[in-house]
């Protein structure tokens, strides 16, 4: 597969991840857990494929810190086992999501420096992790966790659209 096709495929994956994460953010709590598990599984798979493409898209410009963030975010998203998965009583969702958030923030800093995506994308990634942390752990602020999911949804999907568009723009300029 060519790097152009990989980036395009990953852009689509990021768009789908954003869409699914947005849906998951607003679903009522009465949804059966198996349906949520399936939704989160596909969301996480698309986040992972999108992350690979986001790194490939800007790998030359992202720097060592961005690369380390990419690695940490990949480990984090790979270690999430559904919304209620546990290993020895430890919630792997909380562990994986926390690792992913740390990695995403480092990756966002590298993305900011790379300047291949609009600045609002990495800014919203960082904002979503801060708001999500508060919404998940602070009693009475669970609505912030929903808002965090929507912010992540918009910014991750927006990054996917930017990757997709960049491939189209590159093709147009090569054919001109």
Q: Each residue of 19-50: pLDDT tens digit?
A: 999 999 998 878 887 888 899 899 999 999 99
Name the band, by pLDDT with cuts 50, 70 and 90, for residue 86: confident
Q: How far apart are CA 54 and CA 116, in angstroms?
A: 10
b or e along 63-88 (b: 16 or more beta carbons within 10 Å of the residue's beta carbon)?
Answer: beebeebbebbbebbebbbbeebeee
Q: Per the structure block, which two tokens stand in for 115? A: 């300047």
C-alpha–C-alpha distance, residues 52 and 93, integer Å = 21
Q: What is the pLDDT of residues 158-168, one digit of tens each?
A: 999 999 988 66
The tokens 């491939």 sit on which residue? 167
* Local structure of residue 34 (DSSP, 8 states): H
Confidence of residue 1 (pLDDT cuts 50, 70, 90): confident
Predicted local distance difference test score (pLDDT) of residue 126: 98
Q: What percent of the chain has pLDDT over 70?
A: 92
Please give the pLDDT value at position 29: 76
For the chain, percent of residues with pLDDT exceeding 90: 66
Answer yes or no: pTM beyond 0.95: no
- Report pLDDT for 171: 56
Instruction: Reply yes or no on whether the pLDDT at 175 is more than 60.
Output: no
- What is the pLDDT at residue 47? 97
Q: Residue 173 above 70 pLDDT?
A: no
**Joined tokens for residue 145:** 């966790």
pLDDT value for 84: 65
Residue boundaries of the structural domains of the chain: 3-175
Task: Give CA torsion, residues 108, 13, 16, 68, to 10 deg.
Answer: -20
Kindly state the helix (H) or strand (E) to which residue 55 belongs, with its residue range: helix 33-58
pLDDT digits (tens, 9 = 90+) for 99-143: 999 999 999 999 999 999 999 999 999 999 999 999 988 888 989
């Amino acid at each position: 597969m060519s790097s152009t096709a990989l980036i395009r495929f990953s852009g689509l994956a990021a768009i789908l991840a954003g869409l699914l994460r947005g849906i998951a953010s607003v679903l009522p709590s009465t949804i059966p857990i198996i349906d949520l598990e399936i939704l989160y599984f596909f969301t996480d798979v698309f986040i992972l494929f999108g992350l690979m493409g986001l790194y490939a898209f800007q790998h030359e410009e992202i720097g060592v810190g961005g690369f380390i963030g990419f690695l940490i975010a990949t480990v984090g998203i790979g270690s999430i086992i559904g919304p209620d998965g546990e290993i020895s009583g430890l919630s792997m969702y909380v562990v994986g999501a926390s690792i992913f958030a740390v990695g995403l923030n480092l990756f966002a800093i590298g993305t900011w420096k790379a300047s291949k995506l609009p600045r609002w994308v990495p800014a919203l990634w960082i904002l979503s992790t801060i708001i999500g942390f508060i919404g998940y752990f602070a009693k009475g602020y669970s609505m912030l966790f929903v808002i965090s999911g929507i912010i992540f949804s918009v910014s991750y999907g927006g990054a996917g659209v930017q990757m997709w568009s960049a491939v189209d723009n590159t093709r147009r300029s090569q054919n001109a």
